[in-house]
């Protein structure tokens, strides 16, 4: 009977697979303030978390 010594090696968990993404939930965002959008911090399909800044409006008074 022969023995083999086990070794720790890095393992990549990233894998590419073909597939189709489906919308889980659609949310419409409305501002309580008027103004021109000067920065949009996300793209369609991005995951967002509570408190994340999504849009910046111009702040000229």
Report whether 38 contacts 51 (CB < 8 A).
no
**Vertex 18 angle, CA 13 and 19, to 5°:** 105
The pLDDT assigned to 10 comes to 80
The pLDDT assigned to 21 comes to 67
Q: Which tokens belong to 46?
A: 């991005």
Compute the average pLDDT of residues 2-9.
83
Least Cα distance to 39 among 60, 56, 58, 59 occurs for 56
Where do the DSSP E strands lie in 1-61? 37-40, 55-57
pLDDT in tens, 17-47: 888 767 777 778 777 778 888 888 888 778 8
The pLDDT assigned to 23 comes to 72
Q: How many residues are recorded in the chain?
A: 61
The pLDDT assigned to 61 comes to 58
């Amino acid at each position: 009977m022969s023995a083999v010594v086990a070794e720790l090696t890095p393992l990549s968990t990233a894998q590419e697979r073909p597939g189709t993404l489906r919308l889980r939930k659609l949310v419409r965002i409305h501002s309580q303030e008027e103004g021109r959008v000067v920065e949009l911090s996300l793209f369609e399909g991005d995951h967002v978390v509570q408190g994340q800044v999504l849009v910046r409006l111009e702040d000229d008074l």
